[in-house]
Amino acid sequence: DQQVKQNSPSLSVQEGRISILNCDYTNSMFDYFLWYKKYPAEGPTFLISISSIKDKNEDGRFTVFLNKSAKHLSLHIVPSQPGDSAVYFCAAIIQGAQKLVFGQGTRLTINP
Amino acid sequence: DTAVSQTPKYLVTQMGNDKSIKCEQNLGHDTMYWYKQDSKKFLKIMFSYNNKELIINETVPNRFSPKSPDKAHLNLHINSLELGDSAVYFCASSFRGTNSPLHFGNGTRLTVT
C-alpha cells in the first residue's frame, strides 16, 4: 500500500517556464513533507520541506504548497532551468517516527 | 569532504552468494538508514540505527543483516542472494528526533545473476 504517490512519472517543461510537480498522500498522520532531487548515479539530495502547520514554504525558485484537506502537495519551480532536470521525490513522515516514506518520483526534463 | 559514502558502487554477483555493502558518514549524525530502490523506483526503508541501536526493522528477509560497529558506520550484509534482491541500495544518515533531512550516499547497484 503506497502511502505517498506521484502519479506523473515524467514531466517536460520549457526553460524559463514554471514546473509543477504533484504528490498525494493517504496517511493523515503525516505531519512533515519533503522534496528530494536526484541526478543519475547519485543519491537523493534534500531540496525543500514543509510542516503540516503551514500551507506554503518558499526557498528561492522553489515553493512547496500543502493542501491538508486534499492530502496533496506540490512543488513549483520558477523559472525552470536546465540544471533542474532530475528525478524529484516527494516524501512524508510522522515527526518522531524516523521513517520517511517516499513516492516513486517524477522525472523532470527542462527543454532549452 | 563531508558526506555519506558507500562502497561498492556496483556489485554483480551470482545467486546464492553472500555480499556486503559498507556505509560511512562523517556528518556527525546519530542515525543511519538503509533504503532499497526497487525496479518500480520506490525508495523503501529497510533498517534504521540510532547510536548503534536498531530502531527500524521493516519487513525484510532475515537474509539481510545490518551491522553498526559505531554511529558513523552501517554495513549491510546479504546472505544467499536471490534474483529479486537486484536493486539500488542507498545508505543515509540524519539527526534523530528533529526535522533534519536525510543525507544519502550515491547508492550501490546490486545485480544478481
What's chain B's average pLDDT?
A: 92
Greater model confidence, B95 or A81: A81
For chain A, the C-alpha Rg in angstroms (whole number) is 13
Confidence of residue A95 (pLDDT cuts 50, 70, 90): confident
Among residues B32, B67, B36, the alpha carbon closest in space to that of B50 is found at: B32
For B21-73, write each residue's pLDDT tens digit: 999 999 999 999 999 998 888 899 999 998 888 888 887 899 999 999 998 99
Test A102 with B42 for CB contact under 8 angstroms: yes
pLDDT digits (tens, 9 = 90+) for A10-68: 999 999 999 999 999 999 999 999 999 999 999 999 999 999 999 999 999 999 999 99
With a cut of 90, say whether residue B87 has pLDDT above it. Answer: yes
Tell me which of B99, B100, B106 to substitute to probe the interface with A (most A C-beta atoms closer than 10 Å).
B99
Residue among A32, A44, A103 whose CB faces B104 most closely: A44
How confident is the model at residue B98, as a pLDDT?
Answer: 65
Instruction: Give the DSSP letter of residue B84.
Output: G
Q: Which residues of B touch A104 (CB under 8 A)?
A: 40-42
Report whether A52 contacts A68 (CB < 8 A): yes
